[in-house]
Structure 1
Amino acid sequence: MNYQIDHDYHIHSYISDCSSDPEQSIERILKYGTDNGFKHICIADHFWDSDVPGASDWYKPQNYDHIKQCLPLPQDEKTKFHFGCEAEVDMNNRIGISDKLIDKFEFIIISTTHMHMTGFTVDEKDSSVERRAFLYLDRIRKLMEKDLPFEKIGVAHPTCAEVYRIDNFSDHLKMFDIITDDELKSVYSLIAKKKAGFEINIPFHLYKTDGERQKAIRPYKLAKMCGCKFYLGSDAHHPDALDGAYNNFKEITKLIGLNEEDKFKVFE
């Protein structure tokens, strides 16, 4: 069976500072889920635990007291609405969530690819494409070494443009060009072994050529070869991103060649 488009596990609400959009309300997000016939949706606002040192000035206010404002989440008979978060990894490979709060969340996505946060996630000297390629692999590898409940952990936007962006959105493809298939498979195999989720998050419309689109798909095809299980994440911060998510998911899963057995089923 083809991969069924029946969920979205990475959605930001107005509570995330980078959204701050009153139109991106909890009710609007639930409507997105029900309109598309989703079985599950998950809120994943940006979060850094106050008990974990090292938060950036931007992350510091986005603690548990802040993001729990969305609770209790409204529910629908056909669409279950889950409480999750997006946690960050800093330049010391420290994750912004403590053991005592992990159980507060039904699903946790962890970003290793927000390398635009210079001075927080990467050092200022780590600006070359070669250094970013090294860090891309190293940060995933070190995340997989953590003692975490990987059955409810997702690796957020593994091909995020912010891993390496100089002038254009597609700059990050230059970084992936210098990482070999074997190098990518070496870390994706760890994700598969730990049984963590691999997020499908590709804003396909932003790639200008078929060549760019094929390059964008390459890591996902390699992850499939490694046995990774995939979940859908729009990373929507505003309603217009929700509006186009379903068709984007459908196109990408088809191009990767995913089947239903490739799905990461955290809520089933």
Structure 2
Amino acid sequence: MNRPAVVAHLSDLHIGAHYGYAVDSIVADVTAARPDLVVVTGDLTMRARESEFRQARDLLGRLPGPVLAVTGNHDLPLASWRRVVRPYRRWKCWIDADPQPVRRAGAVTALGLTSMPRWRWKNGRVSARQAGDVVRVLGAAPTGDVRVLALHHPPLATGTAALIGRDRLLDAVRAARVDLVLAGHTHVPDVRTRAGTVFVVAGTATSRRLRGTGCSWSLISVGTGQVVVRERMLGPDGWRTGRLTENVVGRRRPPAPGGAAGL
């Protein structure tokens, strides 16, 4: 790559329980970063209502493209026959008809996973088939591409918050030589490095459901040998780079010969 790839990572918009000034100002802040790809890791809506999806669609349409978005637990109807019969209908109508979207932008190949099956209430699950998709799609990315996996639930969570299928997903991440795993759900920004992969959990970008931090999104730069994560925090004077995860650096593994995942 001649220049680092730039990924804007937003999560947990919770439209319907959001700050209007955060929604109004975030588009300009993200646009100013000139990202190659914008990733939104779930909970775009608060209660999966039609009006909330309409507003979320409007926001996504104003972000610099391409945009990859995945479902969160709040994007399925909460307690309704729709959750059983047509849990993803509104998502497919307003956000993306493909529940496992793939985006290729410049030197970035990204895959989104739906980690919220309709029969789970809050915590997530990744199936064996989905783990296989990680290897199939990201493992076959061109040599030198930044390989990005996006899902709502953090794969490194443990205890009662652990993702079902966590071990098989992490095995797939390792086999596919994924550079970045992006998630949300907790509303608390976090960056960790494990076996050459950088795991980024974004905070809540626009919602009032704050957990000790303000609204934020993650600005990620991926160069030949490193990953830099800067947290953009919303304050009284607008968006700024905060101290919480400022200049967190992870080492990016070198690409495999021929771009294969070494299966």
TM-score normalised to structure 2 length: 0.46
- Which is strand-richer, 1 or 2? 2
TM-score normalised to structure 1 length: 0.45
- Which is helix-richer, 1 or 2? 1
